[in-house]
Structure 1
Amino acid sequence: MKKALLAFAFLLFAFSSNAKPPKNQYVRIKTAYGSCIIRLYNETPKHRDNFIKLTKEGFYNGTLFHRVIQNFMIQGGDPDSKDTTKNKAGAELGNGDVKYTIPAEFRDSLFHKRGVLAAAREDNPAKASSGCQFYIVEGRRFTPGKLDTVENTRLKGRKIPPSQRLVYTTIGGAPHLDQNYTVYGEVVSGIDMVDLIAAVKKDAKDRPISNVAMTVELLSKKDCKNLDKLLFPKENK
């Protein structure tokens, strides 16, 4: 019996090690400031699948980027921002949501580098994510000393891995958010759109003076395959 179980375990391991990784899914966000393409992470399947579901339903079409902070991030996805009585200049947005949250999916390898897509959330002990609101990090570059300060204050002593410190000092990001908000995708094309939106004129509540509406679409299988070939040539030989 033990030999049979060991043989089965070996076959299962061999099958799983040879299995191809799940295919990548991409979405395109279009605005008056251009568009960007985002790859959704397979490492965060709950967030990935929820974003795909809402995109297919057209949920995000017509919603606004209602909160923008230059050198930090742009936030959108509030369903209330579609309401013509609430999307007028000066009206407060950011409180709308769907009737569910998503469990946090923190991964050590996923961090708040420039260009990542992450889930907004209300304060809650489990750090569960909003079911619809998201942000894209514009970020800024940090000196090693500033990263030390972030570790000791905002991250409560958690050490940022050397490889991630290198990214934060050269490319930039928002390290103080790591392991507090779920990162579930990244911009692979069109980061200029994020920079332009982050720089628009805004009011005292960080809402753009002129509405920045979006449409979000899921890329076709053909488009996804072509992007995979471009981004991951070794895996597609």
Structure 2
Amino acid sequence: MRNSIEFRLYGKYALFTDPLTKLGGEKLTYSVPTYQALKGIVESIYWKPTLVYIVDEVRVINAIRMESKGVRPLDYGGGNTLANYTYLKEPCYEVRAHFEFNLNRPELEHDRNEHKHHNILRRSLNAGGRRDIFLGARECQGYVEPCEFGQEPGFYDGYGELHLGNMLHGINYPDETGSDAMEVRLWNPVMKDGIIRFIRPEECKQVRRIREMMPRSFCADDVRTADELLAEMNAGEKS
């Protein structure tokens, strides 16, 4: 697929939190990563406001196993709370994603260079990402590396269909949708032979409005070329 990348994603633990379990102060992970979590990981590899990432599919390599831990969450009221968090243990995935240009940002039209961004994205992936990779939560460190999707044997190869019930798909932000609200998307994924093929955000039928939010705009004063930034740095050093 055009402007696509394929990578292996793994770590010791993952916590793709089911929002329903947060109400009591404890957390329970989904059995598989959400679209939004994977999109955030791709953005940690390389992000620009010019781009919108679309996660096409994820392949579950290791068996889905969970482990519960007693943790002490931050309590700013001075309490000594003990909570129970349930993590995925030794998760490993193959992910395929691609980028498109954010047409809701006409002020960044000058930066719509597919060849440039794709090359930077691939170099960033080879380096393990530009920012730290987290598997759903900050305490779950993750790692990425290039791979060929479908080549590595997986635990669920030939397993058949597994219905995962109603899950969070992702969040609509005004920066990408052009709307004046933040919305949450839900869907009912089906894993077939270990592979979940994601529907696109605009194809989600279950959308709930959360709150009003306005997109951030970029004007010409916010944009600098590399040469301009270097000149400003040199001028600052001389002064």
Normalised by the size of structure 1, how large is the TM-score?
A: 0.24
Higher helix fraction: Structure 1 or Structure 2?
1
